[in-house]
Structures are given as structure tokens and as C-alpha cells.
Amino acid sequence: MKISILIVTMALLAAVLPLAISKAEGSASIELTPTESHHVAKLNSDQPYVAGFHVIAEDLRVLDSVDATAITVSFPSTETSHFSSASWLGAGMFVQAQDHFFRNVDYGFYTMLVVDAQSNLFIDLGLHQTRESTPPLHMPTSEIMYAYTWRMSGVDLATPVTLFARWTSDGFVHYSISASGNNVTLTSVNVAGLPNCENIIRDFFVGNWVVDQFPFSRYVDYFQFGVVSPEITADTHWTVHLREPKMLRGTEWAPVSEAWSVEGAISYLDWDWKWGGAPYFGVDAQSYNDPLEDPHEVVFVYNGRSLIPGRVLWENHYSSNVDDTVATAWLSLDQAFRARLTYIFPISLVVLAIFSQRLECKVREAIARCASKRSSPLDVRSGSVC
């Protein structure tokens, strides 16, 4: 009995240890309270989603791996009394990892700052394991491997909060935040020790890859940063600032030097799975793209105008060269066109199928009329073929 009590006590201490470390490292003004009321960024769902994504090369065919990612989030000028009672707004980073043994297995990590209808702030983080389809045997499946939520007090909506997720060499992902000069550890998760996760590559992937060619045009964007909620919050009383997304390679942090836009119907993290799943209609993005301002910041705001996918939010160079400007504008237009084809192309196939069926019926009717008017293929009296 004493041994059992000792084991239970040790387990409880292990569970609260991350929070104890948080208070030791941070400030008494920031308090984190664990809760089971999770806010999950779902995959392939009806959740509206809009984001920016990291671009290495403008043909979207270059990817890389990093040790950590981070982003700074805040909700200035947000009035949550206009939210529906059960709604919430999450903003943060959405990154992918891969499996070195199974090619069809991937991992989607989300780390978010969340505000609910009562203006409560939360930190939410979690992991989806996805399995791509392998026709004709298997359909795509996904599973939530973990989800953690803390209610945060001592910070107002306008205070920037930086979210960190970092791999360690022994297979743990270490989560922490920074706010008002205080660094707070959240937890470390032994991801490689989770069931069926032992083959995970211990890096986050960044950049992009083309998994389906034009005109289907499916792109995987490995490092995304954006906004998600359970429903469209259709009012002009909320604003989300996402600033300085960055990546750690070894000991050096590097900013996301170029970012484009994406929305939930095409926000793929692998062949089959995408963050959110639905466009966030009515939400637009503002970005400076100016070295005199903060060039690595995007502001998402509901104003009734929907963000076009493929829009350049900021670039890795500032040039007065006309050719560069035209090329950038064309690439943005090309991405928007390809994104819209995602919706237009299936509709076009349906229209083409209907047209083909009707044409076939017309031909059959014409042949039938011909057969009823003549006894041989050549009508000698008219000198023509029916």
C-alpha cells in the first residue's frame, strides 16, 4: 500500500512539475492554470482558418528542417462581447513533422494563444498524427496524440505573447512562452515515446512542396501561422497580430523572410490533411512589407473582405527593379489563380460531364432519326450521307 501511494505521489509531482518550473522562471504576475477545456485546431473540418506560410523559393519546391519555431501573438482592439457564447479565437503557429519509416505518416503540431467570449486567455497546444490515403486499400485517418490547455491570467489581450516549440535531441518537444519580459516553461512532451510515434523525425519542417501538378495544384506549406475558430466570428470587433515568425537552426534564430497567404480549404500539411478545413470568409490581412516598419508582421482583421490565397504578405528583398515587381505580382496572381482552381476545377468537371452526356444524347437521337429515314447509309436521291 505504501509503495502504491508513493507511486501516485510521484506521478502527481511529475504532472505539476512543469507549472512549478514556470512560476520559478517567470513572474508572479503571470499565472497558468491547467484545464481540460481544450481549444483544438482541427484538421479537414468545418473550422474557418486563414494564415500566412513560410516560403523558401517562389516555385514552392524547396523544404528544410529546423529545431524550433516561434511566433508572437496579440489581440489588440478586440471586443469579445460580440463573440457567440461558446466561440473562441485562436492564433499561433501550425507546423509539420514527418516519419522516417512510413512515408504516409505525418505529424501536425499546433501552438496557440486563445481568447474566448468572456475575454479569458488560454494557451493551447497539441499534436495530430495523420495517415495519408493509400488507394484502394486505406482512406486517410488522423488521431490526436495529445492536447494541453492552460488558462492564463495577469496578461491582457493587447500584450504580445511569444510562443515557442523546440525539439530536443532525445525526442521531447519543449513548449514555453514569453510575455512582458518573463519566460515561462509550459511542459516538455516525450513525443518519440508516444504510441506509434517512435519513428518521428525530430525536426519541424519548413518551406513548401508541390504534391499535385497543375491544374489540380496541391501545395504543402509546412510552417503556417494564422487564425482559427470553431465558427466565423463575423463582426469588426476583433484583430489578431502575428509578428516575427522565426525558426531555430542549431543556436541561431532566423526570421521567416518571405510569407504568402493561404486559407482553410487549401492549407495542406501533407497530401490529404489541412489545417481548419474551411475558408475564413470576411477576414483580410494587413502587412507592411516595408523595412521602415516591422516587415515580419501580419494583422488579420474581419472587415468583410476575404483574403486571396497566394498573396505576398512580405518578401525577402526590397527592390525598385520593375521586372522584380512584375514578377512578384505575377507569382501572387498565379498562386491566387491556382488556389481558386481548387474550387473551380471540380465544378468544371461536373459541367463538362453534363455537357458530354447531353452531346451523346443528341448524337444518339440524330443517328436514330437517320436510321428511321433510310434503308442504306447512302441516300441516292439527295446524294448525301444522313
Please tell me whether residues 261 and 369 are part of one structural domain.
no
158 lies in a domain? yes
- The reported pLDDT for the residue numbered 250 is 93
Structural domain contains residue 279: yes
Residue 215: is the preceding peptide bond cis (ω within 30°)?
A: yes
Predicted pLDDT at 29: 82
**DSSP bridge partners of 111:** 93, 125
229 and 87 Cβ atoms separated by less than 8 Å: yes
According to DSSP, the residues that pair with 144 across neighbouring strands are: 128
**307 and 189 part of one domain:** yes
Q: What is the DSSP string of 63-123?
A: EEEESEEEEEEE-TT--GGGS-TT-EEEEEEEEEEEBSS-TTEEEEEEEEEEEETT--EEE
Count of domains forming the chain? 2
Q: Looking at the domain assignment, is residue 188 inside a domain?
A: yes
Pairwise CA distance, residues 18 & 20, whole Å: 5
pLDDT at 369: 55
pLDDT at 268: 97
**pLDDT at position 365:** 56
Closest residue by Cα to residue 18 from 190, 253, 201, 245:
190
Same domain, 114 and 246: yes
Single out the residue in 301, 318, 335 at which a domain terminates.
Answer: 318
| pLDDT confidence of residue 351 | 38
243 and 368, same structural domain? Answer: no
Is 5 a domain residue? Answer: no
Beta bridge partners, 268, equal 220, 274
Residue 328 lies in a domain: no
The pTM (predicted TM-score) of the whole model is: 0.78
Angle at 320 between CA 319 and CA 325, to 5 degrees: 75
377 plus 247 within the same structural domain: no
- 173 and 123 inside one domain: yes
Domain contains 49? yes
Instruction: State the pLDDT at residue 244.
Output: 97
Nearest 5°: phi and psi at 229?
Answer: -155, 165
Q: Which domain holds residue 228?
A: 24-318
- pLDDT 10s digit of each residue in the chain, 386 long? 444 444 434 444 444 444 433 444 444 489 999 999 999 999 999 999 999 999 999 999 999 999 999 999 999 999 999 899 999 999 999 999 999 999 999 999 999 999 999 999 999 999 999 999 988 888 999 999 999 999 999 999 999 999 999 999 999 999 999 999 899 999 999 999 999 999 999 999 999 999 887 777 789 999 999 999 999 999 889 999 999 999 999 999 999 999 999 999 999 999 999 999 999 999 999 987 666 667 899 999 999 999 999 999 998 754 333 333 333 443 444 444 444 444 444 434 333 443 444 444 454 555 455 444 444 433 333 333 33
Residues 114 and 252 in one domain: yes
* Furthest CA-CA distance within the chain: 111
Q: Which amino acid is at 127?
A: L
Instruction: Find out whether the peptide bond into 136 is cis, omega within 30 degrees of 0.
Output: yes
DSSP-derived letter for residue 234 is -
pLDDT of residue 292: 62
Q: Which residue has the cell 481540460?
A: 36
> Could you tell me if 162 and 57 lie in one domain?
yes
Q: Which residue has the cell 509531482?
A: 13
CB half-sphere exposure, 361, CA atoms < 13 A: 6
Residue 209, phi then psi, degrees to nearest 5: -155, 145
Examine the domain organization and report whether 350 and 222 are in the same domain. Answer: no
* Residue 135, in any domain of the structure: yes
Helix (H) or strand (E) holding 365: helix 322-373
The confidence score (pLDDT) of residue 291 equals: 60
CA nearest 271: which of 143, 103, 111, 127? Answer: 103
Q: For residue 153, what are the contacts with CB-CB under 8 A and spacing of at least 6?
A: 30, 31, 33, 121
**349 and 312 in a common domain:** no
Is the same domain home to 116 and 198? yes
